[in-house]
Amino acid sequence: MDNREVVSLLSEYKIANDNEIQGFTDSEVEKCEHVLGSKLPSQYREFLLAIGHDAGLLFQGTDILFRNVDNLLELRKEAEDLLLENEETFVLPTDAFVFSMHQGYEFNFFIISEGNDPPVYQYVEGDGPPALVWDSFSAFLRKSINSCAQAIKNGIIPL
């Protein structure tokens, strides 16, 4: 999914209008990669460039869209703290990139070295070690957009 497709779907499904969609700049993505010391997978880069700052109704209640790069990079520390708090034996791999935290009890991550559209793993407090939930970041994003669109259609998320 390139950034134009993401923006198009958000508009088509009435998840966000044009003034609610704001992506990272190239320099913000480069700053993130510089701090990490590694290139981000291309599908995640496209996500950041499309909607890294704001996406209307998509991802409400989840820390996945950020005002600045520093907030995004703090997620790994929050995830590690959650694992410690729950006395988990699992340790995030060094090239794991935590890209979202939901309500302080669940986080999603991918392993940077697993390709340009890496699988997505999820940790949920109380469920033991993280599990592979989506075969790719693009599958995660499509599912999230479709779920939000369905919730809007069913009146669960009001327009």
Give the CATH number for residue 40.
3.40.1580.10
pLDDT at position 68: 83
Secondary structure letter of residue 54 according to DSSP: E
Q: What is the pTM of this model?
A: 0.94
In a domain, 42, yes or no: yes
Helix (H) or strand (E) holding 44: helix 42-51
| Listed range (61-65, 66-70, 77-81) with the worst mean pLDDT | 66-70
In a domain, 158, yes or no: no
In a domain, 71, yes or no: yes
In a domain, 146, yes or no: yes
Residue 159 in this model has a pLDDT that exceeds 70: no
Rg of the chain over all Cα atoms, to the nearest angstrom: 15
How many domains does the structure of the chain reveal? 1
pLDDT at position 96: 97
Structural domain harbouring 97? 3-153
In a domain, 159, yes or no: no
User: Distance (Å, rounded) from C-alpha 50 to C-alpha 48?
Assistant: 5
Residue 133 in this model has a pLDDT that exceeds 80: yes
- Cβ neighbours of 146 (radius 10 Å): 12
In a domain, 56, yes or no: yes
User: Distance (Å, rounded) from C-alpha 79 to C-alpha 100?
Assistant: 9
